[in-house]
Amino acid sequence: MDVEEKIKLIKEFAQEIVTEEELRELFKNNPHPVAYDGFEPSGIAPIHFGLLRAANLKNMLKVGIKFKLYLADYFAFINNKLGGDLENIRLAGEYFIEVWKACGIDTKKVEVVWAKDIMDGIDYWDKTLRIAKEISLERNMRATTIMGRKQGEKLSMGQLFYPPMQVTDIFHMDIDICQLGMDQRRANMLARDVADKLKWKKPIAVHHHILLGLQGLQKKGTDEETMMASKMSKSDPKSCIYMHDTYDELKKKINGAFCPEGQEEGNPLLEYCKHIIFRNIKAMKIKRPEKFGGNIEFKNYEELREAFVNKKLHPMDLKVGVAEELEKLIKPVREHFENDKRAKKLYEAVKKLKITR
């Protein structure tokens, strides 16, 4: 696979690459660069964790990237997830690994890294202090949005360590490509700036789109505030579709989703079609009664989007199609957790945990 083919596969899911030219040079000089994506283990997995991130990872593996899946247990601890109980957080981390397996990720082809395993040593904390020394308090405060906190929100002293620690991870794991969501942009930009100041290897940032929650776009003051208010959140059942939802639950959620006739902006169902469904299927067939035109098939997302925007596809018909296709993708995961004894035990245990933030 040549460099331009690799870039094309990355751009299939990347909303932003900082910078594309640096990525091109990286692929020219290194056929197997190291990338990572990180997660706070903190509850039941939503579809953006299971379906979107798995699809992104498969593209990364196709181009020869060595990938690290980072379970940020101590980050969840200082961010008070699952009540700040490390035992429960690590239980959720083991459950996350089972979700990735069920989504078709071969965990033998990726390296699963726990924060607890890389933080054990003076070298990590030496890097953290050197990084923190290069970051102003004001910029650090702005970067706390990476942990799902609003600017101005009351924070603990431990939470102020979060941004420099996340930047430390990048250098400590010797990462070439930070493949995280747009909500993590501030940390990656910090890492790039710190690299310039300390003359360390500068990471490339590949940011994927953040899926809208079922409620649609929630406009706030800034674009970042709008994104954070609008995103699908696993801690908010009203905004979220989970990897374990039954078909009936899925249909109920989709039927109640924000989807005005002909409206593309802020429409979560169109987003799920674009970023998840059409990345997994060659065509989408929607069943309709003959009196409403009969069954209709779309070969790609653009065909579906055009039909919907031009009001040739009714919102209820789109909802039927989205529910059917998401059910096909979620069902194997649900069945894995029903039939695999270890996975089932982990899921039942995580379900009982109290979600905190």
> pLDDT tens, 93-117?
999 999 999 998 888 889 999 999 9
> Could you give the CA distance from residue 71 to residue 82 in angstroms, rounded to a whole number?
14
Is the predicted pLDDT of residue 150 greater than 80, yes or no? no
Q: Name residue 66's beta-bridge partners.
A: 34
CA distances from 347 to 45, 99, 313, 332 (A): 10, 10, 38, 15
> Could you give the CA distance from residue 236 to residue 245 in angstroms, rounded to a whole number?
14
Residue 7 CB contacts under 8 Å (≥ 6 apart), including other chains: 20, 23, 24, 27
Is the predicted pLDDT of residue 237 greater than 90, yes or no? no
> Could you give the CA distance from residue 269 to residue 216 in angstroms, rounded to a whole number?
9
- For residue 312, what pLDDT is reported? 94
Residue 56 CB contacts under 8 Å (≥ 6 apart), including other chains: 13, 37, 179, 208
Pairwise pLDDT comparison (161 vs 226), residue with the higher score: 161
- For residue 218, what pLDDT is reported? 87
- Name which of 47-56, 111-120, 148-157 the model is least confident about: 148-157
Pairwise pLDDT comparison (259 vs 108), residue with the higher score: 259
- For residue 356, what pLDDT is reported? 74
Q: Which helix (H) or strand (E) holds 247?
A: helix 247-255
Query: What average pLDDT does the chain have?
Result: 93
In the chain, where are the structural domains located?
3-208, 223-351
- Candidates 52, 5, 310, 274; CA nearest to 179 is 52
For β-strands 204-208 and 14-18, DSSP reports them as antiparallel
Contact between residue 160 and residue 238 where contact means Cβ atoms under 8 Å apart: no
Q: Name residue 180's beta-bridge partners.
A: 207
Share of the chain above pLDDT 90, in %: 80
- For residue 292, what pLDDT is reported? 84
Per-residue pLDDT tens over the stretch 122-131: 999 999 999 9
Q: Is domain 3-208 classified as CATH 3.40.50.620?
A: yes
Per-residue pLDDT tens over the stretch 266-325: 999 999 999 999 999 999 999 888 888 899 999 999 999 999 999 999 999 999 999 999
CATH superfamily entry for domain 223-351: Tyrosyl-Transfer RNA Synthetase (1.10.240.10)
> Could you give the CA distance from residue 253 to residue 180 in angstroms, rounded to a whole number?
27
| pLDDT band for position 328 (cuts 50, 70, 90) | very high
Per-residue pLDDT tens over the stretch 205-216: 999 999 999 999
Residue 252 CB contacts under 8 Å (≥ 6 apart), including other chains: none
- Name which of 3-17, 83-97, 139-153, 267-281 the model is least confident about: 139-153
> Could you give the CA distance from residue 25 to residue 180 in angstroms, rounded to a whole number?
20
